[in-house]
Amino acid sequence: MSRAEVSRMRPPLVPLGTLIGRELRNEKLEKPFLKYGQAALAKKGEDYFLIKPDCLRVPGNPSTSFSVFAIFDGHNGISAAIFAKENLLDNVLSAIPQESSREEWLQALPRALVAGFVKTDIEFQQKGETSGTTVTFVVIDDWTITVASVGDSRCILDTQGGVVSLLTVDHRLEENVEERERVTASGGEVGRLNVGPLRCWPGGLCLSRSIGDTDVGEFIVPIPHVKQVKISNAGGRLIIASDGIWDALSSDMAAKSCRGLPAELAAKLVVKEALRSRGLKDDTTCLVVDIIPCDQPVLPPTPRKKQNMLRSLLFGKKSQSFTNKSTNKLSAVGVVEELFEEGSAMLAERLGKDFPANTNSGLFRCAVCQVDQAPADGLSVNSGPFFSPASKPWEGPFLCANCRKKKDAMEGKRAGIPTVTA
């Protein structure tokens, strides 16, 4: 079958709301079970992870449960990794409007992840400590997986179609041309020591995005790449790991090394496989999460290729702008519905145009830190000294004065943010 024929057979785009509605009406599509395991080998002791399987969207209501899995690979110290582990989830959740329906909650999540990452970075900067951390942050709500990442830890998805896909983008200067250009345009220098990977200066960091790294430069931004997908009710396996794994193993190798094994054992095997091929050169941490259709001990065996092809035609695709061309195009081959993908480093693009309605108090809510502020104290991103006559000054999002300064600093318009807030 030619590519054109395949693309003609692809079903039309389906809005998230329709999908969820369909799911609610379909009694067969029960909540999946999650099984997970973790393994790690420390070299420097800067890897941290978070496992929270029983979070609730609505306190006291078990039917609103969701799960969070995350890896934080620290550098130049451990404080940013620990700070992100302790604060990021709360900061993300506080950016989702209260009393959202499940559908609204999932739709608000990508934006809330951006707000939560930036808020956590600002709060860490205010502590005045050095160090930075990668973050790969995974939220699982039934069959919908949302991944937000900065840095070079990775999350891969191994579906029952036997297709392995990358849900993150590597923010490494060596491999990411767009990020090199952005860092240079924002005032950083990118270059190489005699040996080793490309680094940015000042600071000498190989990554272009992280939480922390106050001493490196504001062009190292905490704005995450976010991808949201919905897997079929055949289930799938996530492998979330720090670069100690990915410097040794390709996504395919990692997935294949542990197929058919329960999650706990799978995580150990992936770490062992990385160690075998490369030795212990770096902290190596691996989380394996199986999303399983019913209470089975392991995922059912992967179907043969012919079935994969058939299945691939049953799933459509809806995605937003891609910023990294090398990202796998999941839906072209897989059993995965792409709901959202965005990786821009421009904060205003990531927070949407909503401008919060003037409440009775006359205050506006900052789209990043969620602090209420009088309009005179904060500004829409389009107003102020860099106001372009073409844009509307009161078109959102609204940012408080402090978050506005952070935004300008990240874009190379101002140096640093003040350490004192209102």
What residues make contact with Zn ion under the rule CB under 5 A? 366, 368-369, 400, 403
Closer to Zn ion by CB, 266 or 403: give it.
Answer: 403
DSSP run (H or E) holding 373: strand 372-373
Closer to Zn ion by CB, 103 or 372: give it.
Answer: 372
Q: b vs e for 8-37, b when ≥16 Cβ sit within 10 Å of the residue's Cβ?
A: eeeeeebebeebbeebeeeeeeeebebbbb
Eight-state DSSP code of residue 120: H
| Cβ at position 158, least distance to Zn ion in Å | 39
Closer to Zn ion by CB, 290 or 408: give it.
Answer: 408
Place of tokens 């600093």: 409
Which two three-digit tokens encode residue 329?
Answer: 């195009």
Place of tokens 């100690």: 244
> CA 31, CA 197: separation in Å to the nearest integer?
44
Report yes or no: 224 and 148 within 8 Å, Cβ to Cβ. Answer: yes
Sign of CA dihedral 36, 288, 23, 162: negative
> CA 255, CA 154: separation in Å to the nearest integer?
13
Backbone angles phi, psi at 238, to 5 degrees: -100, 135
Query: Nearest-CA neighbor of 324 among 193, 238, 225?
Result: 225
| Cβ at position 220, least distance to Zn ion in Å | 20
Closer to Zn ion by CB, 207 or 368: give it.
Answer: 368
| Cβ at position 367, least distance to Zn ion in Å | 7
| Cβ at position 215, least distance to Zn ion in Å | 22
Closer to Zn ion by CB, 224 or 293: give it.
Answer: 224
> CA 123, CA 91: separation in Å to the nearest integer?
10
Closer to Zn ion by CB, 208 or 373: give it.
Answer: 373
| Cβ at position 381, least distance to Zn ion in Å | 11
| Residue count of the chain | 422
Report yes or no: 135 and 89 within 8 Å, Cβ to Cβ. Answer: no
| Cβ at position 136, least distance to Zn ion in Å | 25
| Cβ at position 119, least distance to Zn ion in Å | 7
Closer to Zn ion by CB, 148 or 403: give it.
Answer: 403
